[in-house]
Amino acid sequence: MGRRSRTHPRAEIDIDAPLDDVWAVMLDVASYGDWNPFIVRADCSSPPNVGDPILLHVHWGNGRSARSPERISVVEPPHESDGVRQATLAYDYEGLPAKIGLVRGTRYQRLSQADSGPTRYETVEEFSGPLVAMAGPDRVEDGFRRHAAALKTRCEAAR
């Protein structure tokens, strides 16, 4: 599902469902608690819009939990570009470490689908700042992998 990077944790997976269906699940943030083992709750308007705050309640693989204040920065609905359907959702970390410049992060979730093939889900957190290692890139990547697998299960079960 992707290679490890100390500053850019990522995950990717193919989902046997139309891109529009996957996009609808991604934007239904009110239902994350029903299927998402990483983001067990998201406090945000549903569907989210650029500029909206979103408070993520994350559940780490070690059993611990945290809240992560973010702001929606990209909502690019499904569209076609060069024969490929695409969509992007992104949000920026707004916690205290970001406000004082110690850790910044933007999480991108991108979808793509060529012809009638599977929908490709890719997510990456682009971290920067002197304390990135303390943000736990490995545990973030683990959460992204669990999120991607659960998104696949949710979307394929709905078919």
Determine the pLDDT at residue 149: 98
Determine the pLDDT at residue 6: 63
Residue 1 falls within a domain, yes or no? no
* Contact assessment for residue 88 and residue 76, using Cβ atoms and an 8 Å cutoff: yes
Distances (CA, A) of 50 to 47, 84, 121: 10, 23, 20
Q: Stretch 126-138: mean pLDDT, rounded?
A: 91
Calpha distance 159→145 (Å, rounded)? 22
Q: Tell me: the pLDDT tens digits for 46-90?
A: 889 999 999 999 999 999 999 999 999 999 999 999 999 999 999
Residues spanned by the domain of 72: 10-157
In order, the DSSP letters of 5-49 are -SS--EEEEEESS-HHHHHHHHH-GGGHHHH-SSEEEEES-SS--
* Contact assessment for residue 108 and residue 74, using Cβ atoms and an 8 Å cutoff: yes
pLDDT confidence tier of residue 134, bands split at 50, 70 and 90: confident
Calpha distance 109→15 (Å, rounded)? 14
Residue 121 falls within a domain, yes or no? yes
DSSP letter for 156, please: H
Whichever domain contains 58, its CATH number is 3.30.530.20
Residue 19 falls within a domain, yes or no? yes
Determine the pLDDT at residue 3: 42
Residue 36 falls within a domain, yes or no? yes
Residue 2 falls within a domain, yes or no? no
Q: Tell me: the pLDDT tens digits for 32-44?
A: 999 999 999 999 9
pTM for the structure as a whole: 0.93
pLDDT exceeds 90 at position 158: no
Sheet with strand 39-43: strands edge to edge: 10-15, 119-128, 104-114, 84-93, 65-81, 53-59, 39-43
Determine the pLDDT at residue 144: 98
Q: How many domains does the chain have?
A: 1
Q: Tell me: the pLDDT tens digits for 4-33?
A: 446 799 999 999 999 999 999 999 999 999
